[in-house]
A and B are shown apart, each in its own frame.
Chain A
């Protein structure tokens, strides 16, 4: 018993000791679960086509990724963080505080957020205003005055007479999700700005404006269905009356089961998202710690692989995975940023 104990302790000590000194020879990537599918494809191809080890990619969510990324400089911190939104100024400040000063921002492409329904249900034609009225916690008073009331709408027909008389039942991501952030910002806020008195609030009382526009109803009309988008697809198949909110790549993969609702007269198609006419789309990014380039092997080559024409281009393999490529002008800018490693402050 003693021997076992001793060998166990010795093994542990030797390994922890080794760990503290061993140089990390692989790239460590953290961040958004939306960028994860794209980032991993690049990582895998990069590992197969070069002599560098395959990077490790963790899916931590955009906010969680930033927190790890901004912990400091050194091999125990990640080199790259993926994000489904642009970095916040508070995060830049946090990074700077911990000595992470030079950050390179690389735009990856676009992702559309779809409101999908089962193929057995009719296709909805929504406007952002409809979406806001159906899902907000507080909505403008039905008597036409400039006051807010608790959301009284029960069916889509109550919101807009042209819509079917189906119960409002929307399955969407929880507050920790970047998809949710983007959805409230693009769809909800876009809809609530259509009311002049709420739009006026933006200058007068920004916090109240945010609370009104970003507040989702909690009376069962909006159901938090977890981060797993496949689960939402399955629930839609089981319940054709419901609508689900998720990224375009899941719609593309499940076209035999679900369809995307029309928003502002635009179908969520590859082309409509890439040319910007589909209103609920956002850009995806990743951020690189410049101080790690040259220290951790392979970062530069990974960036080159990610921003290469065969990955990011219009016919690249990322597009096959459901990412919407950016325009030529934007792509040129990204290539330039990567080639010269332009940091955020220098841009």
Chain B
């Protein structure tokens, strides 16, 4: 008897060891997978941030330039149209030629090429804003060409220098750096300009405005429709075959690849209803289709979470079904619904595939003013820049990704805060 008791104990001890080992193995696996996830995130963010950080600074050349009224052919009293048409590019070239005395045509072209075409537009803007500057000598931070920008940030003093610049150009560049005229400053253009084919002038304001307008349309449509659908399905709809089919289909729609919604949008909104391509309106409509299932599903879950006792109490006090829903259930379910909506919006914010079909993959320079102006959205802007040959667009791509990530984090934090603040537990 003692023998068998001993053996049971031995058996237990033996299996105990095994079970503990299994447990600690499982813990290690779990920890490893979390570590793997964190590592991926660190590598991804590290890569994007290290590449994109330099997008926020911009290389400029500080100089003084005389706004020669004779050369420009305008005076402070000229009308704006004349001021706009004056040859500012020529003035800058003239100034460069006089100051640095390039010899020969080749050198002249090299010299002119180092200053961005945006410098002339800078001058134009300054004069248009304040015509009394004409005839004076002014300080200006001239935007430099993207090649100069990249050299200043990355290639300075490396073997790659000679590949993009001639010897004379390098002499000028080093002189500028030594005298402190060529320096970096915060890249405001990146936030105030629309898209451009010149990397040094490209900005995300157009894309951000487009994103905002598109999401506005999406929100205005999907929130009321989604919430009403959720309320109806949860509170009023009879439980029969038909509503069951509707329910299954909504769940299925949430998993449909987003490009399909783009095709649908193209066929219905553009080809049948004649909404113009590439506008926030059509983009918003398509994204509404995409976010609706998410909002309906989360809305229904939020309504389900409201305890039946509240409904019953209200009914017991003589409230109609409608009053029960709108006075009692909805206010309690709303935080959950809003959370679902924000998550749906965040999803829509990062979407490119459906927009591909409806012409939002487009080059749009002017910042859109209303929902039927042509525009792009942030993820599309990232896609377009990543496909551009100019090297300086690489860092702008990463810079735009950082901004997009920032918005996503902001929206998701808002969702979490809202839930913490407003959600009640029963």
B275–A19 touching, CB < 8 Å? yes
Residue picked from B273, B276, B389, most chain A C-beta under 10 Å: B389
- How far apart are A176's CB and chain B's nearest CB, in angstroms? 13
Which residues of B sit under 8 angstroms from A238, Cβ to Cβ? none
B163 proximal to A (CB < 8 A): yes
State A249–B390 Cα separation when bound (angstroms). 9
State A300–B372 Cα separation when bound (angstroms). 25
State A56–B109 Cα separation when bound (angstroms). 30
A24 proximal to B (CB < 8 A): yes
Which residues of B sit under 8 angstroms from A252, Cβ to Cβ? 389
State A77–B160 Cα separation when bound (angstroms). 46
- How far apart are A67's CB and chain B's nearest CB, in angstroms? 12
State A297–B273 Cα separation when bound (angstroms). 25
Residues of B350-387 contacting chain A, CB below 8 A = 359, 361-366, 371-372, 374, 384, 386-387
State A320–B145 Cα separation when bound (angstroms). 12
Query: Given A24-B276, A54-B364, do A228 and B387 touch, yes or no (CB 8 Å)?
Result: yes
B387–A58 touching, CB < 8 Å? no
State A5–B226 Cα separation when bound (angstroms). 11
A76–B387 touching, CB < 8 Å? no
B359–A58 touching, CB < 8 Å? yes
State A41–B202 Cα separation when bound (angstroms). 12
State A36–B278 Cα separation when bound (angstroms). 16
A5–B387 touching, CB < 8 Å? no
Of B35-43, B216-224, B250-258, the segment with at least 4 beta carbons within 8 Å of chain A is B216-224
Which residues of B sit under 8 angstroms from A76, Cβ to Cβ? 274, 276-277
State A317–B384 Cα separation when bound (angstroms). 21
State A11–B280 Cα separation when bound (angstroms). 14
Query: Given A8-B220, A40-B197, do A56 and B364 touch, yes or no (CB 8 Å)?
Result: yes
Which residues of A sit under 8 angstroms from B384, Cβ to Cβ? 59
B389–A48 touching, CB < 8 Å? no
A37–B364 touching, CB < 8 Å? no
State A7–B279 Cα separation when bound (angstroms). 20
Binary flags per residue of B216-243, CB closer than 8 Å to A gives 1, else 0:
0000110111011000000000000000
A321–B372 touching, CB < 8 Å? no
B363–A56 touching, CB < 8 Å? yes
Which residues of B sit under 8 angstroms from A228, Cβ to Cβ? 386-387
State A248–B363 Cα separation when bound (angstroms). 22
Which residues of B sit under 8 angstroms from A26, Cβ to Cβ? 374
- How far apart are B326's CB and chain A's nearest CB, in angstroms? 7
* CB contact between A48 and one of B121, B279, B359, B363 (< 8 Å): that residue: B121
A158 proximal to B (CB < 8 A): no
* CB contact between A56 and one of B228, B275, B362 (< 8 Å): that residue: B362
A120 proximal to B (CB < 8 A): no
Which residues of A sit under 8 angstroms from B109, Cβ to Cβ? 315
A8–B221 touching, CB < 8 Å? yes
A37–B163 touching, CB < 8 Å? no
Interface size of B by CB at 8 A reads 45
A227 proximal to B (CB < 8 A): yes
State A317–B145 Cα separation when bound (angstroms). 13
B281–A33 touching, CB < 8 Å? no
Which residues of B sit under 8 angstroms from A56, Cβ to Cβ? 278, 362-364, 374
B113 proximal to A (CB < 8 A): yes
Query: Given A58-B362, A76-B276, do A227 and B387 touch, yes or no (CB 8 Å)?
Result: yes
A322 proximal to B (CB < 8 A): yes
B372–A22 touching, CB < 8 Å? yes
* CB contact between B326 and one of A1, A16, A24, A40 (< 8 Å): that residue: A1
- How far apart are A253's CB and chain B's nearest CB, in angstroms? 5
- How far apart are A313's CB and chain B's nearest CB, in angstroms? 13
* CB contact between B387 and one of A8, A57, A230 (< 8 Å): that residue: A230
Which residues of A sit under 8 angstroms from B387, Cβ to Cβ? 33, 59, 227-230
Which residues of A sit under 8 angstroms from B359, Cβ to Cβ? 30, 58, 60
Binary flags per residue of B258-301, CB closer than 8 Å to A gives 1, else 0:
00000000000000011111110100000000000000000000
A328 proximal to B (CB < 8 A): no
- How far apart are B157's CB and chain A's nearest CB, in angstroms? 14
Which residues of A sit under 8 angstroms from B363, Cβ to Cβ? 36, 40, 43, 56-59
B141 proximal to A (CB < 8 A): no
B388 proximal to A (CB < 8 A): yes
B412 proximal to A (CB < 8 A): no
- How far apart are B173's CB and chain A's nearest CB, in angstroms? 17
Which residues of A sit under 8 angstroms from B371, Cβ to Cβ? 15
- How far apart are A9's CB and chain B's nearest CB, in angstroms? 9
- How far apart are B72's CB and chain A's nearest CB, in angstroms? 15
A256–B365 touching, CB < 8 Å? no
B113–A320 touching, CB < 8 Å? yes
- How far apart are B335's CB and chain A's nearest CB, in angstroms? 16
Which residues of A sit under 8 angstroms from B275, Cβ to Cβ? 16, 19
Binary flags per residue of B93-132, CB closer than 8 Å to A gives 1, else 0:
0000000000000000100010001000100000000000
A47 proximal to B (CB < 8 A): yes
Which residues of A sit under 8 angstroms from B75, Cβ to Cβ? none
State A53–B366 Cα separation when bound (angstroms). 7
Query: Given A33-B387, A58-B359, A253-B391, do A1 and B228 touch, yes or no (CB 8 Å)?
Result: yes
State A5–B394 Cα separation when bound (angstroms). 43
Residues of B325-360 contacting chain A, CB below 8 A = 326, 330, 359
Residues of A42-74 contacting chain B, CB below 8 A = 43-45, 47-48, 53-54, 56-60
Nearest opposing residue in chain A for B359, CB measure: A58
B196 proximal to A (CB < 8 A): yes
A-B contact pairs, 25 of them (CB 8 A): A4-B223, A8-B220, A8-B221, A11-B220, A15-B372, A19-B275, A19-B281, A22-B372, A37-B389, A41-B197, A44-B198, A47-B365, A48-B121, A57-B363, A59-B362, A59-B363, A60-B361, A76-B276, A229-B387, A230-B386, A230-B389, A249-B389, A250-B389, A253-B391, A317-B117
- Add 4 more A-B contacts to A30-B359, A229-B389 (CB < 8 A): A16-B273, A26-B374, A230-B394, A256-B160
Nearest 9 CB-CB pairs, A to B? A57-B363, A54-B365, A58-B362, A56-B374, A40-B363, A41-B197, A5-B224, A253-B389, A256-B160
